[in-house]
Structure formats: structure tokens, C-alpha cells
Structure 1
Amino acid sequence: MPSPTMAFRPHLLAAAILLASPLASVAADAVRDYQLPAAPLASTLNRIAAEAGISLSIDPALASGRNAHAVQGRYDGLGALRQALEGTGLELVENASGSYSVRPLPKDTLAMGATTVSAAQEDPEGPTVGYVATRTMTGTKTDSSILETPKSISVATREQMQDRAALNLDDAVRYMPGTVAGSYGSDTRSDWLRVRGFKPTQFLDGLPMATGVYANPKLDTWDLERVAVLRGPASSVYGQTPPGGLLDMVSLRPQAEQANAVQLQAGNYNHKQINFDSTGPLDDQGKLLYRVSGVVRDSNTQVDHIPDKRYNIAPSLTWNIDDDTRLTFLSQFTRDDTGITTQFLPLKGTKYDAPFGDISHHKNLGDPDWEHYDRTTYWLGYSFEHRLNDVWQFRQNLRYMKNDLSFDAITPTTLYAGSPPVVTDDGTISRMSTSTEEDVTQFVVDNNFQADFATGDLKHTLLLGLDHNRSNTNYLSIFGFGVPPSNVINPVYGQPIVRPPRSSAFYDYDQKTFQTGAYIQDQIALDHWRLTLGGRQDWVHTGTKFHNAGNATNSESDQKFSGNAAISYVFDSGVAPYLSYAESFQPSSGADVTSTSSFKPTEGKQWELGVKYQPPGSDTLLTAAVYDLRQKNVTVSDNVGGVSVTSQTGEVKVTGLELEANSNLTENLKLIGSYSYTDTEVRKGQYDGNHLQLIPRNQASLWADYTWHAGVLDGFGVGYGIRYVGDTYGDQANTFDGYAGSYTLSDAAVHYDLGKLDNSLKGASVAVNASNLFNKDYISTCDGYYCYYGDQRKVVASLTYKW
């Protein structure tokens, strides 16, 4: 007998199509959610009036050649009509009979109407004021209200990231619920994130990013407008995502108004960095807009002899072809020169006392004369939008990405398989080498049609999409065990080290993955009710050639339907409770330890019950959610004999509670806060009953920024944050060797607008930011073989000039 869930899933797609079919039209004049893009004025006004039951007359001569302003948000019928007229030079007037008509605005009010247009609607891919985003494309691929979207979504706005001096994605998401950052401590190579227990898929501008085993892009927040975290499955729209969720980042895009910024940074560890950004029109008509941002960094790290150098540039160009068509080219190039700041330190001297004392945070146990870590990432793509008529619009996002990585590294090793690294009483330690070459190329395209229409009292935003993703990964990893020993107190550099031949490679394969997905989603509004139904069918083929196994080949073909259903009710008080069910499906890149089989796709499902609250007239969003999610074929990594080995367990269960607050509380005070309770359990497999790796049961955080706008302190501001991370297990076996205790860290900032000091300095500001303010020593993770120190205190002073 099939389970209720199994019986429920196949009907989601059919239900979405059925509810999109025409029904009898019934007029209603009530507050409702509008999602009308800019379109010809007459058709937009007539549509609103018909749906709201308002008698409206329009002089065709007045409407001719005019476009309505976008109407996106909650309005009654008259409010929606007035919003559509914003910036058109026309106004709505009531006639003596109770009907309405449109007339030209008096000349002295035209300028006032124009000034309100920019504040009327938040662009989900554009700038946000303060810490509170109200709209997003994340999770639905449509411009949607976060309050009315029945999913858990957190957004780090650009202003928030800059106030906290977030230099990378780990920094950007540290204050979000259900999200673990810096899982392996200080690491300049990658962002080690977990969302609801799982490594999230990273999306940029709505498209998945190419990832490999080590060759993963590490984005710079300076090039981003916002970073959103969607918690929970989203495969019914995105396809290849884990049940925990995804990161959805939005690149800086060209703006119609000229603006420029340069920022100079200096900090400890000899940190020096220049950030730049310039945007504006290229022609008088504003049809061509440009933007160029970038980062140049020359820095050391908390580990001796390991640099953190970056050269980055991100050009983009928007072509406003006509009122209904826009094409934006997006590109980026990044070159990194760094190393392994995690260091893979032995348990003895970190977690456990040793005769030689504690191993310093700064000791490099490798050999800077031999090691290197070079990564080059670049991509080129575009975002195309075209409105076909007042109902349909078409979007296409496309990108080609390439990520090349080459590194030689030395880490402590074990004397025999299954044991931690052994350190003698005088600090002598055995070592091994890892030599890796990896390149990942990806082509991905997403096409969708969106229709906004009504069937009787039901208002629909229907999405029909087809996407394709193909990637090719060449991965070579060679381990060498003939490396001379060193000393954890007095490291020895310059010793003879030989890279083993390719014939001894542990991993050496070429893997190609092709994925195609077709999806449908209907967001339905009925008065205060919101219903979302969606379904997607994925087809995936993975082919792998194992060069280290006589060119043996393995081929996997999979197909899977993923569904989603959610319902919410939006009260006039700003309270919006919701219930959702969602599924995930994720092809797994890589190969098993035998190097003869590809990993199976993972499958997940989740139930979530939540509530959101946005007090009317406020700039505050409060959310709470409880959830229960399961995943099969979970991919996990473990250290066996000093070698990182990846395998798949049977099934895991994650349940939890998440609370979040984001608020521009007053003109002076902005704050964010969160709490998470996450309970994880392996349900099947070798480690049945254990907790998942790297996931604390409890996390909490709070950040506040207060800026004076009057008086003697006008222009001066301070920020302070506190983060608590509970204890974790870093190994699948949940041994004490893999246990890391909880820790609490503080961050702080001071900043001053120099233009308040003297008008000649308008546009200039200074700031000083400190993370781990009190320089707390803590171990971020232990995995049973190694321990990883967390970030030491980082202080960055910045001088910014905008004009």
C-alpha cells in the first residue's frame, strides 16, 4: 500500500495545471497581491478595474504611448490603479456617479510624482535600503513578496554585508538561522557552508555554479548586490538541489544613474585591498548601461607563509532594447593565489595537551618552498527579458563558466591506517603530500515563460520552464607518502620533496554530466489565501572514465519527479502563517573510493510549518519555522588513514526550529538576529543513530548598528554583534576525537561619514571592523584525525569615497 506522501506527489503537476484553467469571473474589491510588470497603460488599468469591480473610463488619447508602472505588492483596487499611474503624468479621479476616470496631473505636481517612482517598488535583483529585503526571485524564479512566499528565505543585503565588512560568503551568512559557516575554520580556499545539515548548492543570478571536488568558486561579496539563503528543498523549480537548501546570489548590475565608488582597505596580517565600482549610462537615451566592479587584494593570513592574493574584475552591460525587452551581459574573472590555512593539525597539541605545548595558530606545517594553490575562475553569460503582451513574458538566463585549479600541499599523516597523526614528544610529525589538478567547465541555460492572469477570483502567476546544464570535470589527485618529517614547534622548510608520478594517482577521472529539467509552477492568490503548486521532471546522465583503472567507464542515467505544494494566509495585520511540502533531487559529482562507480543522486523531502510577520507600516520582518526533512544517498567525507574519502550513507533525518528578525527599526537603528535548533540523526547505514557531521544543535546570533543623524555625533555609527555556535562532531562515528566544543564570538564596527565634518569631504567615509573582537582561541572542528582552528581576530580599516 503506498504511503500518503507517495500517493500525493504524482498529482501536484496535474493540480497546478488544473487550477490554471479558466473559471467563471467574479468581481471582487479587496486587498490582494499584485504582480503586474510595467506594460501598456490602458491594458493594465482595464485589467485592474475589471478584477476589482471598479467602473473606469479612459480617454484613448491619454493612454496612447504610455506604459503603466509596475504594480507589485498588496493593494486594494484603487491603490493598484494609483500605483499603475505612478510616473505617467496622469491621476485617478472619482466622478459624481461613483465611477472613476483618468486625467492629466497639474503641472506643479509632475515632478513630485516622478520622485516617488523609485521608492514604490523594490527590485528583487537591485539595491535594497537597509537590512530588510521585501522581494525576491529566490525559490520561485518570479518577483515575489518574501512575506507571502511560503518558504524560509533569509537575505543579506549589500548594506548589511558592508556594515559588517563581510569579505566572503562565510562572513555574509554567519548571522542567518539554520546556516553553519566556516565549518573547517579559517580557509581562504573555499566557503564551507551547511544549511539545515547539508552542503547547499550555490546559484548565481538564478543559475547553478560549476563545482568540483576542490575547484569551487569563492565569490567576493563586493561584486554582489545580495546573498539569499533558501532553507529547504527547491527541486520543483531548480532541479539539482539538496534538501537543506541553496544559496542564491545576485551580481551587481548596471544602473541608470551614474555612480562610482573606490574603497581602500588595510588590516592586520598585512592586509591591503582596493575595491572599485562604477556604473551609469553610456548614451543620452539610457539604452546602454554599464557597470564595472572589482577587487585587488594582497594579504597574508593567520598561517605563516600563506598568502591571500586576489585579482578580480566583473564587467556587465545592459541593453534596454525597447520598453518590453532588456538584455544584460554578466561576466567575471578571478585569479587567486593562496594556500591551506586550515593546516590539518594533529589532535595532540590542539585538542589534547602535549609535552611540547600547544601548536600555534600561525605555524605552517607544510613547506612554502614547494607548496602552491592557484585557482582561475571566469564566466560569461546574459540575462534576457522580453514582454510578449500584458499576460506573457519570456526570460532566458545563460552562462558559460570555467574553473581551473592546481595545487601541491603537505599535511600531517598517520603511521598506519585508521589512526590520527602521531606527534612525538619533541614535536616531530610525519607528513604526506597531495598534488591535485582539477578543471571544471559548465554550460547552463534556463528558459521560462511567465503568465500573469486571473480566472474568476483566482489570480495566477504561472511559470513554465525548461533548463539544461552540462558540466565536465577532470580530476587528478596524487598522494605521496615519502615526504620528510617536520616539527610542529620549529617547522623545517626546504627539504627535498618529489611529486609522485600520475600512475600512482588515487583519483584520476574525467566525468561528464548532462541534466535537463522541465518545470511548471502556479502561484495562486484568492483574497488573503496564497497557494503554490509546482512540479518538475529531471533527466540526468553521468558518464565517467577512470584513467587510473585502465580507462574503465561507468555510466549512470536517472530521472526523477520533484513536487512542491504550499499554502499560506496573509492577514491584514501582517501575519502570514504557512504550511509546505517539498522534495529534492541532486545528482552527485565525484566517484566512490574504489574509483569504479559514480555516486547515486540524492533524494529528499520536507514538511515545514511557519509564520512570518511584517507589522503594517514598519520595516521589520520576523519569521519562525519548524521542519522535518529526510534525505537518502547522503554523500559524506571522512578521513581514513590521513586520506579524505567520500562515501554515501543510507538515510538521514533533520528536524529543527528557526527564528529570525530583520529590522530597520528606526532611522538610526538596524538589527538582525536569529536562533536555530537543529537535531540530526543518521537513520540507515554504518553510523545509524549518530549525528550528522559539522552541525551544532544550537546556534544564536545578534547584530545591531546604530548611526546618529543629528547632534554632535551626526554621521558617527557603531555596530556590535555576538555569535554562539554549539558543539559539533566532525566525524561520522561521533567519537570524542571528533568532538569540538561550543564557542561564542564578538564582532564590532565603528564608522563615520566624513561629509558631516566638512562639506568638501562629501561622499567620503571611514570605518574600522573587527571580527572575533576579543581574539578568542577556539577549535572550529575536529574530524577524528585533525583539528581546525577558527579565525583569529581580523581587523580591517577602510576609506570609501563615492561620487
Structure 2
Amino acid sequence: MPSLFRPTLLATALVLGHAAFVHAQTAVGERNYQLPTAPLSTTLTRIASDAGLTLSLDPGLASGRTSHPVNGRYDATEALREALRDTGLELVESEPGIYTLRPLPSADDTLSMATTTIMAGPMENAWGPAEGYVANRTASATKTDTPILETARSLSVATRDQMTDRAVHNIDDAVRYMPGAVSSFYGSDTRADWLRVRGFEPTRFLDGLRLPDGVYVDPKPETWNLERLTLLRGPASSVYGQTPPGGLIEMVSLRPQAEASHEVRVEAGNYNHRQINFDTTGALDDEARFLYRVSGVVRDSDTQIEHVPDKRYNIAPSLTWNINDDTHLTFLSQYTRDDTGITSQFLPLRGTKLEGPWGEVSRHKNLGDPDWEFYDRTYYSLGYAFDHRFNETWQFRQNLRYTKSDLSFQGITVGGYAEAVSEDGTVARNTNIVDEDISQFAVDNNLQGNFSTGEVQHTLLLGLDYQRSNTNYQYLFGQAPSSNINNPVYGQYFDPAAARQYTLYDYNQKTHQTGLYIQDQMALDHWRLTLGGRKDWVTTETEFYTTDAHPKRDDSAFTGNASLSYVFDSGLVPYISYSESFQPTSGADVSATQSFKPTEGKQYEVGVKYQPTGTNTLLTAAVYDLTQKNVSVTDNVGGVTITSQTGKVKVRGVELEATSHLTDNLKLIASYAYTDTEVQDGQYKGNRLQLIPEHQASLWADYTWHAGSLDGFGVAGGVRYVGDTYGDQANTWLGHTGSNTIYDAAAHYDLSRLDSRFEGASVGVNVTNLFNKEYLSTCDGYYCYYGDERSVVANVTYKW
């Protein structure tokens, strides 16, 4: 039945997309509005969005207020004034084209300092830019444009401004100041981002669609091309389908803008870091029906590991066609080429965790062979984001993308056991040869309706998505000539037969997934109730070439979510939520004869969000309890990476976060997380999960002067604390790593303050691990991995 049902659903998905396109209508200055009473921020946002206005709305000003119905034909400003009737707020034109939203003279004095400015240009929405560090809207938890304050889930947003201030170069960097996230636990790896959220590896989404999951070939997204990155904590399968219980990373690409803007950033730093970032956007015609954007990165750098390069060539062109006011189509594409190696290294226990007669193994040493090793990955994608509004009640969105990622990889690992290194430093080594490619097609359609039944306002979402992926994976393992831990020997002869002695994996795996989902966000006065459910059908077919086995799995699951919150006028929002996860696992088990079983999870969460009226501050707190069954765990046995499935894991925790523009000069983000993990079944019952610290805390602050002799100058600093961890399932002393505290710093200066001829030019410098602390980030019982050394990167940026 699922195999017959799936093509029908896919056909329906494509027909829906075609129907939405056909029903596009021509826009006029006035529109026919049929907007029922709804949360005020929702109605104002919808009107401004349809009219192409910017609405910078203080959530505290609109919190707890409902709009007046808007029925009839109005232009945008008339519709806004109609929605504001009986709300105690008014729209005032301060100058042509610019409006201010303010309380009426009779409004409560507590609102007297809050204002909202409306001007021509794009407004903040869940898929666009946010000003400063504090984002106000998100679609990550609901797939609808929803205020973060009213989203009853724990989440963090790294805005474009925050990522720029911290000179973020990868996802590991982007999330390291967020609660509940562990990153770079093998040190920085130029091949991949290593993440854990609430104990589990998160699924990554880009522009609403899941990125492919391989073994080594996973694309490493370029953060320069992102408008924002959201970490959603907890299960989300009832909206997104196959995801883990810990959470997901949801990224939004830079998209074309009507206002012309251009930027070039040149970086230089230690390890011969040289990089050029570029971004240009604007309109191609006078009516701004066609908009373009091209961003990208060229990097040529060394790393803290000798003879390991970090080269990247990336470009991301996009094009928007504003068919009319109700219909928009944006083409999104990207190409990335990576040339690098194993920067995380696999260092033996002797000389790191254990003493060796030669002393410590240098964190710069390359114990492989640069004449033989390489890591070449090519990634490209092509897709689009389409939206169409049928009327004031219904709108349709479709996201579609094709992705291809190819990898050719040769690497060397040394013996990890203590006895693998002799007294004179001679170390045994193994070869790892990987050829892997993965292709993926994904499409997501949803129909959103905004209407009321009596006094209850509804945001109803009906969705259908489909994805298929095809993975070819071959992993050969063999023997390499021995080397010396103090004086590595390069350029040795590698016997091809010995280097390819064993075929550990050799298979082709095809996965098809179809999902139907429904969600209703209901608002009644100050109450917010969300109910959602989804049914998934997944087929996994694997052909093992070494064993001639051809297993096929058909999995299906229903997952649900429910949440309830109350929005106080003060900006305080307590909430409670329940959510479930379902995740068919890619890859194969260690016997290489069958596919993994899917994992299942559930979570209870209680939290509170607070955005004080009249401020640009968001404070959040969450307490959660989640469980997952059929957990996949990766371990090293005799220098070979294998994966197995244990029974059940329990994770409980507390997370606190503050994001704020305390003053015009000071921006900050702060977080704390307590994470209690426990394996509840199997051989390691009672142990903690690998790589997860019980305690984490961080603080980043940026202070910029806007007047006086230091006008235009800014300084920033950060501190990150990560508690002790176990890198092995058995929680042994050899797998234990102590806590560490790392400091970061930055400085920047706007050169236009020196001379107006330098308008748009700025300089800056960012330093991570300011005091160059040497520490082990992880030990797994066989190997140890150093944390990142100090990195110093200076930049010159020009915008016009």
C-alpha cells in the first residue's frame, strides 16, 4: 500500500505547485481584505508584508492585543489603521512614506516609550534579515511566520549581524554560544561539522528542506551565504518528518533584495589564512520584478596541522521573479569545492592522555602522509522557493531542491592503543580509502489558511512533502608503512594491495520518504494552543556488494505535537509542550547485511519566554525530559570506526538564554545548560552519553561607541565553559576529558568616522582561544583530539 500511495502523493504535490502558479493574480494599489480578528502582530505583519512595507514591531507593544477585523477594499495604510481600531494604538505619518505606531494619549503609561516605524522596503519575516542580534520571528518550529515570543518551543537564532561580529566560518562556530549545543568536540574539522544537541546529532535543513545525510560526504554549508541560522531544540518530526529527538539546525539562505547592496570582505590570519567573501544584490529592472543576488567565498589557507590545507571555492547565485504582489518565485543555487584533509587527527593515547618517553605529541604534528592523503569534495544544489496568495485566507508555498555531493578521500590513522607506539616513537598506521556520492531530490508543499471560528483565530497548515536519496559508499581499510611520532616520515611507498586490504563497506542505498502533516495554531484572547500531527512512509533499499544481500525496509510512523502558552501584556509567555520524533537511520550495521532500525523519541518541555515591553531583549528558560529508543552509537575498535544500536536513552536538562541590545552601544548573548544523560538499556546501562557535558555556559558581549573620540570603535569578548565528557560508551578513565574554559575577543572600527571618503569601509580582527590554551577536547578510549589553537583573523570590509 505505501508503495502505491507514495507516487500518488508526489503527483498531487506537483499538481498543487502548478495550480498555485496558474492562479497568480495581478496586484493593484488597493486590495480586497477579509481579515478576521487575530493577534495584532499577525494582522499587521500580513498587511505590511503584502504591501512590501518594513514593519519593525516591538513585540511588547502588540503583545496580548487583537486586531480589529479588516473587511473591504483598502490601500495598505488604510488597512493598517482599520486593524488598529479599538487597540489603543494609532498610525501617524511623521514624514512622507514613513509612519510611526504609537499609543493613543489614553493608552497605559507603561507603553508610552514603545514605538514602531514603518517605511518602504522589505519587512522582517521568518525567512529574511533580522536587525542586530535579536530576531523576532521564526518558522523553524511551525513552518509558518510566527513571533518567537509566541512559539512554544526552545530555540536560538544566530542572525547575520551576530555571525558577522563573531567572524563565523562554519556551523560549529555559529552554535557555540547557544545553550544545549556541543560543537567541535573533535577540534575543528575542515571536512565536517561535529554537533550534538540535547545529546543527539541534529538534522540540518536549508531553506525548509533537509540536507542529505551521508557518512563522510555530508555537505559543509558555507555560513557566509546564510541570512540566519536557527537551532530548534527537541523533536520536530510532526512538522519535518525524519528528525532526531535532540533537535535540528534550520538555515535560511541569503535571498535577492530590491535595494542594491554590495559587499566585499578580505581576510588574513595565522596559518596563512587568506579569504575573500563577496555579496551583491539588487534589481535587474526598474519595476523590481526581477532581483538578483550572488554571494560566495574563496579561501586558500593552511591549518594548525602541518601540511593539511583548507581550500574552498564557493558561489551561490539566486534570482527572484516577483510575478505580482501575490506570487513570488526565487531560484536558489550553490556550488562548493573543498580541498582539505584530516585536521582533527587521531592521536594515540601515549603522548596525549598517557605519558610517553618522548613527551607530549605536538598538536601541530601530521602523523599521516601529505604525499598520499587527500580529501576532495564537490557539492552543488539547484532549487527554488515559490509562494502564492490566493486570497486573504489561503496561501501556498513550495520549496524544491536537487542536491549532489561527491567525495574522494584517502586518509591515514595511527594505532590508538597504548601499545601501538613503541619506546622510540615508532607508530603503526592504517589506511582509509573512501569513495562516496549522494544525490537527493526534495520537495515540500504546504497550504496555509488564516481564519476564525467564533472568537478563536486559526493558522491552519496542511502539508505534503517527498524526498528521495541515493547513496553509493565504499570504505576500504588497510595497512600503511609505520612512521615516527616525533619525526614523521613522508613520501614512503604504499603497497596498493596492502592499502586496500579489507573492504569494510560497499553498498548502494536508496531511500524514499513521503509525509502528510497538519497543524493548527489557535489563538483565543491571550491563549495560544498548537496541535499537529504527521504520517510518514519511508522505504529503504540497500544492496551490499560484498555479501550480495539486498534488504528492504518499509517503515511508517505517526508523530504528534501539542503546546499551550499564555501571552501576558508584560511580554511574559509561559508554555508547555509535547513532541515526538521518528528517524529512519541511513547507513548499514556492522555486519553489513541489513539497514538500521528507525529511532523513536518523545519529549515533555516546560518553559517561559520574556520580552520586556519597550526593550530589544529576549530571555528564555526551558526544562525538558526526552527519551529515544534504538540509538545509534559510533565507536572505534582497533582503529576501525563502527556503528551499533543500543536500546534506550534518557536526557533531562535545563537551558537558559539571554539575547539583548541592552543599550544602543551594548549587545550581548548569554547561555547556560545543564544536561543529564543516561543509557537505560543494554551493555552500558547507567552510563552517560558520549561527548555530552553536564554543564555548559557562555557569554558574548559587543560594545561600540557612537559618539566622542572613540566614535565608530567597538570591542567584543566572549567566554565559553564546557564541562567534562566521556568519549567512549564505557565511560572509562581513558575516555574521560576534563572541563575547559576558552576566551574569545574582537575589535572593529568604522573608517568613515575618520573621513567621509571611507564611507562603507571598516576594519576588524577576531581572535578565538585568546590565551592559546592547550587542551584535549575529546578522548574516546583509543584516540585523543586537541581543541583548537588560537586563531587570529583580520578583515577589511567595504559596503556600498
Under a length normalisation based on structure 1, what TM-score does the superposition of the two structures give? Answer: 0.89
**What is the SS of the residue equivalent to 1:760?**
helix
C-alpha displacement of 1:425: 1.7
Matched, 1:111 2:109: no
The CA deviation at 1:49 is: 6.7
Q: 2:540 aligns with which of 539, 542, 559?
A: 542
Deviations 1:433-477 (A, max 9, x none): 000000000000001100000111100000000000100110000
Gaps of 5+ in 2: 1-26, 41-46, 101-116
Structure 1 residue 186: Cα displacement: 2.3
Q: Partner letter of residue 644 of structure 2?
A: S
Is 1:736 aligned to 2:726, yes or no?
Answer: no
Q: Which amino acid aligns with 1:523?
A: Q
State the match for 2:305 in structure 1. 303
Instruction: Give 1:210's match in structure 2, choosing from 189, 209, 212.
Output: 212
8 Å contact from structure 1 (residues 309, 337) kept in 2: yes
Q: Which residues of 2 match residues 265-414 of structure 1 at below 5 A?
A: 265-413=267-415
- Partners in 2 of 1:411 and 1:248 — Cα distance? 33
Partners of 1:42 and 1:699 lie apart in 2 by 52
Check conservation: 2:38, 2:457, Cα contact below 8 A.
no
The equivalent residue for 1:532 is 530
Q: Is residue 2:576 matched to residue 1:560?
A: no
1:430 to 428, 431, 440: 428
Is the CA contact (8 Å cut-off) linking 1:346 and 1:421 kept in structure 2?
Answer: no
Select the residue among 678, 681, 691 that pairs with 1:681. 678
One-letter amino acid of the structure 2 residue matched with residue 522 of structure 1? D
Supply the AA of the counterpart residue of 1:201.
T
2:35 partner amino acid: R
State whether residues 90 and 105 of structure 1, in contact with CA within 8 Å, keep that contact through their aligned partners in structure 2. Answer: no
Structure-1 separation of matches of 2:388 and 2:585: 34
Q: CA deviation at 1:104?
A: 13
Work out whether 1:787 is the aligned partner of 2:789: no
Matched residues in 1 for 2:716 and 2:438: separation? 40
In the other structure, the counterpart of 1:644 is 641
CA contact (8 A) 1:589 1:599 kept: yes
Relative to the length of structure 2, the TM-score reads: 0.89
Does the aligned pair in 1 maintain the 2:561–2:580 contact within 8 Å?
yes
Asked if residue 47 in structure 1 is aligned to residue 38 in structure 2, the reply is no
Contact 1:420-1:641 within 8 A present in 2 as well: no
Checking the alignment, whether the CA contact within 8 Å between 1:69 and 1:86 is kept in structure 2 is no
Equivalent residue letter for 2:463: G
Give the corresponding residue for 1:690.
Answer: 687
Show the counterpart of 1:579: 576
Q: Which moved more, 1:620-629 or 1:122-131?
A: 122-131
Q: Secondary structure at the match of 2:460?
A: strand
- The equivalent of 1:751 in structure 2 is 748
Contact kept? 2:36, 2:68, Cα under 8 Å: no
1:562-588 Cα shifts (integer Å, max 9, x gaps): 000000001011110000000000110
The Cα shift of 1:90 comes to 7.9
Superposed CA RMSD: 2.5
| Corresponding position: 1:467 with 2:453 | no
1:526-568: CA deviation from partner (whole Å, max 9, x where unpaired): 000000000000000000000111x221111110000000000
User: What's the offset of the Cα at 1:127?
Assistant: 1.2
The code of the aligned residue for 1:237 comes to V
Residues 513 and 769 of structure 1: CA distance in aligned 2, closer, same or farther (over 3 Å): same
Mark the CA change 1:80 to 1:670 in structure 2 (over 3 Å): closer, same or farther: farther
Q: Distance in 1 between matches of 2:121 and 2:321?
A: 23
Secondary structure in 1 matching 2:345: coil
Shift of 1:146: 0.5
Q: Is the 8 A contact 2:54 2:120 kept in 1?
A: no
Aligned to 1:184: 186
Residue identity opposite 2:423 in structure 1: D
* Structure 2 residue identity aligned to 1:361: R
Paired with 1:675 and 1:80, the residues of 2 have a C-alpha distance of 43
Distance, in Å, in 1 between the alignment partners of 2:35 and 2:292 is 35
Give the letter aligned to residue 200 of structure 1: P
2:723 aligns to what?
Answer: 726
Match of residue 451, structure 1, among 449, 452, 457 = 449
Q: Is the 8 A contact 2:38 2:66 kept in 1?
A: no
Paired with 1:497 and 1:582, the residues of 2 have a C-alpha distance of 52
The answer to whether the 8 A contact 1:480-1:499 is kept is no
SS of the residue 2:172 aligns to:
helix
Secondary structure of residue in 1 paired with 2:770: coil
Does structure 2 retain, via aligned residues, the 8 Å contact 1:503–1:548?
A: no
The 1:77/1:607 distance shift into structure 2, 3 A limit, reads: closer
Q: Which digits, 9 at most, give the CA deviation of each residue in 1:186-234, with x for residues without a partner?
A: 2111000000000000000010001201111111211101110000000
Residues 124-203 of structure 1 mapped to structure 2, 5 A cutoff: 124-203=126-205
Distance 1:760 1:545, change over 3 A: same
Q: Structure 1 residue 590: deviation in Å?
A: 0.3
Q: 1:505 aligns to what SS in structure 2?
A: strand
Unaligned runs of 5+ in 1: 1-37, 53-62
Contact 1:376 1:404 (C-alpha < 8 Å) held by counterparts: yes
- Whether the 8 Å CA contact 2:36–2:451 is kept in 1: the answer is no
SS at the partner of 1:159?
A: helix
Contact kept in structure 2, 1:275 and 1:294, CA below 8 Å: yes
CA deviations 1:700-755 (Å, max 9, x no partner) are 00000000000000000000000000000000111111001100000000000001
Change over 3 Å in CA distance of 1:77–1:352 after alignment to 2? closer
Q: CA deviation at 1:128?
A: 1.1
- Deviation per CA, 1:752-800, whole angstroms, max 9, x where unpaired? 0001110000000000000000000010100000000010000000000
Partner letter of residue 239 of structure 2? Answer: V
* Corresponding residue number in structure 1 for 2:14: none
Amino acid in the other structure paired with 1:558? D
Matched letter for residue 525 of structure 2: D
- Tell me the equivalent position of 1:658: 655
Q: Deviations over 1:589-638 (max 9, x none)?
A: 00001100100110000000000000011100000000000000101100
Which residue, 691, 710, 721 being the options, matches 2:707? 710
Could you list the per-position Cα deviations for residues 124-153 of structure 1 after superposition, in whole angstroms to 9, with x for gaps in the alignment?
Answer: 111111100010110100000111100001
- Distance (whole Å) between structure 2 residues aligned to residue 765 and residue 180 of structure 1: 32
For 1:6, the equivalent position in structure 2 comes to none
CA distance in 2, matches of 1:566, 1:741: 38
Aligned partner (choices 236, 239, 242) of residue 238 of structure 2: 236
The amino acid that maps onto 1:443 is F
Name the CA distance, whole Å, in 2 between partners of 1:373 and 1:250: 27
Residues 357, 420 of structure 1: alpha-carbon distance in 2 compared, 3 angstrom cutoff: closer
Retained in 1: the 8 A contact 2:412–2:431?
yes
Inter-CA distance 797–69: structure 2 relative to 1 (3 Å threshold): closer
Please tell me the residue identity of whatever aligns with 1:212.
G
Q: Note the 1:77-96 alignment, pairs <5 A.
A: 88=77, 92=81
Report sequence identity in percent. Answer: 63
Partner of 2:438: 440
How has the CA–CA distance of structure 1 residues 51 and 489 changed in structure 2, closer, same or farther, with 3 Å as cutoff? closer
Is the partner of 2:304 in helix, strand or coil? coil
- The superposition leaves residues 367-398 of structure 1 with CA deviations (integer Å, 9 ceiling, x where unpaired) of 00000000111000000000011110010000
Q: What is the aligned partner in structure 1 of residue 601 from structure 2?
A: 604
**776-785 or 85-94, larger mean C-alpha shift:** 85-94
> What's the counterpart of residue 59 of structure 1?
none
- Give 1:427 deviation, angstroms: 1.1
Aligned residues: 741
Which amino acid is 1:533 matched to? L
SS at match of 2:162: helix
Match of 2:628 in 1: 631
Question: What's the offset of the Cα at 1:665?
Answer: 1.1
